[in-house]
Amino acid sequence: MQLRHTICGIVRAVMVENMLGIKQLPENTYDVMASYRNDVKRWGAFPFPELLNFMPSLRQKRDVYRAFSKGILEQEFEKLVEVLHSDPQPGNTNLIAASVVSLFKDENPTLSNEELLSALRSLSSEDIRKYFENPIVQSLPMILKAADNLTDAIVLCLEQIASDPDKFAMLRDEMDRSYLIIEEGIDIRTLKSLPLLDAFYKESVRFDAPVAVPRYTQNGYSSDSMTIPPNTMMIFDLHALAKGEQYWTNPKEFDPTRFLQKDIEQVAEEGGMSSNNKNHTVGQFPFIPFSVGLRNCPAFAVTESLFKVMIAKFVADYQLQLVKKDEDDSTLHITSRDKSLGLMQ
């Protein structure tokens, strides 16, 4: 199995269908996104035109993405009209409809729920088009970029456990002891209660953290050493927080045990995985892979859930062997643990 290509397809399909209601993406989605995913990961630059002035190649990739995402949304317009005209709860259908409903409510704050539903059903296609063209709605395919980042974390984790029998055995043992059946309808809260799986999730997103995230300062800031005027763009080095030796012991080593609350040596004895991270400090800072505050990544919740479901499924039901690792992708040999389960067969 070509690991990244396969995982990315699964993640994108799940995210865009569940969040946007889009059931079919264009065949060239992977190629278009792969052409600039590393730049997007390196710089959260798309909302910041100033950065694009210094990076023409990134500006060109942004324009390609905009045209591509507009095409994806356009195929959903007729479905949006149908939802607004017939669905009894259009705001709960998907993010596209919910965004249009929210924009309409902002313009008509005094309408009751019944009046709102009636007003939405009376909108013409031309009226709906105006809301559909709003930048908020047009930016929704950014979920595809979130899928790319999630894919990187999942692929990293699978590469690690497929190449290290001790890591794989630790997770497999936790899955078996939990008696979880990874299928549709699983309680995500149960997955979140598994400490080893949670540790592998946190270490994967730490290890795969973006280099930098730009932010604007709404208010000024002054101290003895610096003055930052209002409306100043600042770039935060998240990579330094995720990999800094002043924050982490052996930061370049993929070691999920650093996030476990129980005694590190006990974990190593139980699972056979060595750990040299006895002196690290775990807390909200510096572990902020999704940033913090009002501008933090809105996909953090779905990212955690999808990551844990996919890793749990692979570990519980399959045998994994890393065949080779290339710069662009890795090849994984997968065999079903139980021949009655055939996700990849």
pLDDT tens, position by position, 95-118: 899 999 999 999 999 999 999 999
Q: What local confidence, expressed as pLDDT, does residue 266 receive?
A: 45
Distance CA 248, CA 264 (A): 15
Architecture of domain 164-211+238-336: Orthogonal Bundle (1.10)
Report the mean per-residue pLDDT for the chain: 79
Burial classification of residue 144, based on how many CB atoms lie within 10 Å of its CB (0-12 exposed, 13-18 middle, 19 or more buried):
buried
Q: Report residue 158's pLDDT band, with 50, 70 and 90 as the boundaries.
A: very high
Q: What local confidence, expressed as pLDDT, does residue 40 receive?
A: 58
| Residue 282 scores a pLDDT above 60 | no
| Residue 229 scores a pLDDT above 60 | yes
Cβ–Cβ under 8 Å, residues 7 and 157: no
| Residue 299 scores a pLDDT above 90 | no
| Residue 211 scores a pLDDT above 90 | no
157 is in an annotated binding site: no
Selection from 161, 195, 159 nearest residue 177 by Cα:
195
Q: What local confidence, expressed as pLDDT, does residue 106 receive?
A: 94
Q: What local confidence, expressed as pLDDT, does residue 82 receive?
A: 96
Distance CA 31, CA 165 (A): 33
pLDDT tens, position by position, 269-279: 444 444 444 44
Overall average pLDDT of the 252-259 stretch: 90
Selection from 307, 305, 299 nearest residue 95 by Cα:
299
Q: Report residue 200's pLDDT band, with 50, 70 and 90 as the boundaries.
A: very high
Q: What is the DSSP string of 174-241?
A: HHHHHT---STT--HHHHHT-HHHHHHHHHHHHHT--SBEEEEESS-EE-SS-EE-TTEEEEE-HHHH
Q: Which helix (DSSP H) or strand (DSSP E) does residue 81 occupy?
A: helix 77-86
Distance CA 159, CA 168 (A): 10
Distance CA 233, CA 228 (A): 10
pLDDT tens, position by position, 55-82: 677 777 777 777 888 888 999 999 999 9
Q: What local confidence, expressed as pLDDT, does residue 284 receive?
A: 44
| Residue 21 scores a pLDDT above 70 | yes
